């Protein structure tokens, strides 16, 4: 029953939200949609004509005078079916892009997210009767993974592939050669969707070698060779060499400068990077989803699952490896996004550990209330961003409290198939339903004071956090005004209101540029 409620809420939100913003180019999404449209309409991987016809954006790679997405190409096969349908529905119009984004997202992000939730439930619900349902509901309804599933990003797919591969490698008996080959295929496919996922994938492979034996290891390698060979063919066709990655040909100046340092921009790990990824009010995983911190204790709990000792180690080493690596990336914040998006591929593995610790924690009343508060806090962080503008800038702390409410009050909400007046109420009801499910799987109704105390402490925590001031910088104020006037289409006025603060030639030029861009976009 609890799983039906969780999946029902998730699917309802996937179907209600369209998430196509005419005023915001969302480069991470458009880069993939442009290439899918190019393949369908022109039989080409190059996106130069699409940039001219549909609008420019910054996530572009350049080679020999041609333009391509700067993304790993592994998501493309799942975006193409939507692009075919979009081309049939709206050939040659701006609606073709909108349909490609929506239909591509349903297949490449929404469906993998639902599958991830089901895989988590299958792996944990019977082994951890208390902790399993709690971990699954918290992952699905109270983490940035929900927001990622509503966008044409690769994180939902890579999370699904990594989790499926982990379970195939370490759940039950060692996989037969056929299953091992499929596992290798899934891990390599994940790495071709996000290059950084190769690191946790390698951890899983190394942990499984002894368990697989010679035949299984060879089969795994053969399965992984298929996506790897396809990636090499793609690189050769676009960038002249099988080993030449898209990220090595950045066209946008700031990104090009970034990848020249370290290994494609990733240098030695740093304490500042770890703090940003885990504790930053704008991007920290433990701020957006405090329940993820339970994984630390879960890694220390003695457990016989997985049965293989190497698998038990890989369960926490794989997420840790990605965390440490990304702490050395100057753009670890991941740009405009609700939460630490570069950690999302390993989040299902983290929540396997959460389930292990929650099984112990939920036995005690104080543990149930702690779990309930943490889960509801995550819910309160994610849902307002989903309902308003799901691309908060990286320099605005607690955007669910400091940015989203003002946008919603100003009539701004996520694009939807529903009439405008219904979007926020419907998503509000869905958010309340999510909170109800989280209470259901954490505290017990037999003791009325437990949900009452959870609600009280959550209200106090939100009230205290709400005292955090919106950044007083010019940049933050300009970002909020641009979101209101241009990106979210909230109408004119917010940019003009910044005129008194435009006290230098540079600020006046920035303000005038954005006003002209807004007026041109909505003329």
pLDDT (tens digit per residue) in 23-66: 888 889 999 999 999 999 999 999 999 999 888 888 888 888 89
Pick the more confident residue, 187 or 488.
187
Whole-Å CA distances, 66 to 63, 244, 317: 5, 15, 40
Give dist(CA 409, CA 66) in Å, integer. 44
| pLDDT (0 to 100) of residue 265 | 65
Q: Is 407 inside a domain boundary?
A: no
Q: How far is CA 245 from the centre of its chain?
A: 22
* C-alpha triplet 160, 158, 44: angle, nearest 5°: 125
Pair of tokens at residue 199: 């690191």
Q: Report the candidate in 466, 457, 468, 473 with the shortest Cα–Cα distance to residue 507.
A: 473
Pair of tokens at residue 209: 């070698």
Q: Is 260 inside a domain boundary?
A: yes
| pLDDT (0 to 100) of residue 446 | 61
Do 491 and 342 belong to one domain? no
User: Of 360, 377, 393, at which residue does a domain stop?
Assistant: 360
* pLDDT over 80 at 264, yes or no: no
* pLDDT over 70 at 440, yes or no: yes
Domain tally for the chain?
A: 2
pLDDT confidence bin for 348, thresholds 50/70/90: very high
| pLDDT (0 to 100) of residue 57 | 84
The verdict on whether omega for the bond into residue 306 sits within 30 degrees of 0, i.e. cis, is yes
| pLDDT (0 to 100) of residue 516 | 86
Sign of CA dihedral 455, 457, 458, 462: positive
User: Of 331, 360, 389, at which residue does a domain stop?
Assistant: 360
Q: What is the mean predicted confidence (pLDDT) over 408-437?
A: 88
In degrees rounded to 5, what are phi and psi of residue 68?
A: -140, 165
Q: How far separated are the first and last CA of the chain, in Å rounded? A: 51
Do 61 and 209 belong to one domain? yes
Q: Report the candidate in 370, 375, 446, 367 with the shortest Cα–Cα distance to residue 137.
A: 375
| pLDDT (0 to 100) of residue 217 | 93
Give dist(CA 237, CA 508) in Å, integer. 45
- Regarding pTM above 0.75, the answer is yes
Domain of residue 510, residue span: 473-523
- Whether the Cβ atoms of residue 458 and residue 380 lie closer than 8 Å to each other: yes
User: Of 308, 331, 360, at which residue does a domain stop?
Assistant: 360
Q: Is 421 inside a domain boundary?
A: no
Q: Residues for the chain: how many in total? A: 523
- Whether the Cβ atoms of residue 326 and residue 267 lie closer than 8 Å to each other: no
Q: Is 299 inside a domain boundary?
A: yes
| pLDDT (0 to 100) of residue 221 | 94
Count how many Cα atoms sit within 13 Å of the Cα of residue 41 in the half-sphere of its side chain: 25
Q: Is 385 inside a domain boundary?
A: no
Q: Is 428 inside a domain boundary?
A: no
Do 483 and 337 belong to one domain? no
pLDDT confidence bin for 509, thresholds 50/70/90: very high
Burial code (b: 16+ CB inside 10 Å, e: under 16) for 400-410 equals bbbbbeebbee
Do 76 and 222 belong to one domain? yes
Do 347 and 487 belong to one domain? no
Are β-strands 66-69 and 60-63 bridged in parallel, bridged antiparallel, or unpaired?
A: antiparallel
* pLDDT over 80 at 430, yes or no: yes
Q: Is 417 inside a domain boundary?
A: no
Q: Which of 82-86, 105-109, 370-374 has the lowest mean pLDDT?
A: 370-374
Do 302 and 175 belong to one domain? yes
Q: Is 381 inside a domain boundary?
A: no
- Whether the Cβ atoms of residue 106 and residue 63 lie closer than 8 Å to each other: no
């Amino acid at each position: 029953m609890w799983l039906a409620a969780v999946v029902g809420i998730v699917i309802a939100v996937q179907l209600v939200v369209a998430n196509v913003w005419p005023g915001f180019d969302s480069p991470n999404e458009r880069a993939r949609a442009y290439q899918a449209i190019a393949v369908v309409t022109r039989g080409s991987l190059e996106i130069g004509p699409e940039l001219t016809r549909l609008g420019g954006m910054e996530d572009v790679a350049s080679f020999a005078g041609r333009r391509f997405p700067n993304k790993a190409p592994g998501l493309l096969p799942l975006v193409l079916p939507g692009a075919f349908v979009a081309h049939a529905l709206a050939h040659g119009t701006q609606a073709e892009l909108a349909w490609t984004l929506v239909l591509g997202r349903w297949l490449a992000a929404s469906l993998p997210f639902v599958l991830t939730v089901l895989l988590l439930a299958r792996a944990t619900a019977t082994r951890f009767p208390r902790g399993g349902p709690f971990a699954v509901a918290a992952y699905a309804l109270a983490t940035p993974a929900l927001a990622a599933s509503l966008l044409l990003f690769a994180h939902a797919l890579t999370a699904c592939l990594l989790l499926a591969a982990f379970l195939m490698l370490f759940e039950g008996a060692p996989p037969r050669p056929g299953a091992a080959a499929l596992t290798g295929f899934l891990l390599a496919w994940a790495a071709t969707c996000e290059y950084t996922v190769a690191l946790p994938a390698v951890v899983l492979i190394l942990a499984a070698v002894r368990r697989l034996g010679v035949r299984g290891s060879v089969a795994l390698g053969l399965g992984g060779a298929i996506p790897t060979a396809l990636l090499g063919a793609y690189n050769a066709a676009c960038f002249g060499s099988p080993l030449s990655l898209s990220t090595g040909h950045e066209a946008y100046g700031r990104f090009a400068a970034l990848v020249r340092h370290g290994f494609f921009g990733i240098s030695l790990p740093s304490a500042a990077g770890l703090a940003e990824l885990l504790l930053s009010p704008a991007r920290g995983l433990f701020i957006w989803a405090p329940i993820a911190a339970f994984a630390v204790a879960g890694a220390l709990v003695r457990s016989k699952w997985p049965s293989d000792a190497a698998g038990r180690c890989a369960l926490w080493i794989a997420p840790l490896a990605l965390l440490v690596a990304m702490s050395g990336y100057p753009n670890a914040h991941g740009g405009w996004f609700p939460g630490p998006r570069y950690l999302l591929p390993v989040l299902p593995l983290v929540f396997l550990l959460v389930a292990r610790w929650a099984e112990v924690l939920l036995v005690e009343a104080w543990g149930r209330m702690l779990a309930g508060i943490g889960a509801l806090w995550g819910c309160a962080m994610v849902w307002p961003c989903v309902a308003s503008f799901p691309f908060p800038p990286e320099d605005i702390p607690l955007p669910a409290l400091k940015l989203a409410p003002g946008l919603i009050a100003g009539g701004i909400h996520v694009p939807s198939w529903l009439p405008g007046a219904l979007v926020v109420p419907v998503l509000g009801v869905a958010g309340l339903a999510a909170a109800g499910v989280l209470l259901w799987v954490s505290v017990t109704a037999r003791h009325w004071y437990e949900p009452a105390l959870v609600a009280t402490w959550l209200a106090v925590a939100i009230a205290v956090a709400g005292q955090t001031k919106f950044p007083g910088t010019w940049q933050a104020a300009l970002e909020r005004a641009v979101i209101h006037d241009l990106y979210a289409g909230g109408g004119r006025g917010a940019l003009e209101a910044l005129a008194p603060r435009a006290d230098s030639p540079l600020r006046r030029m920035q303000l005038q540029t954005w006003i002209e861009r807004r007026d041109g976009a909505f003329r």
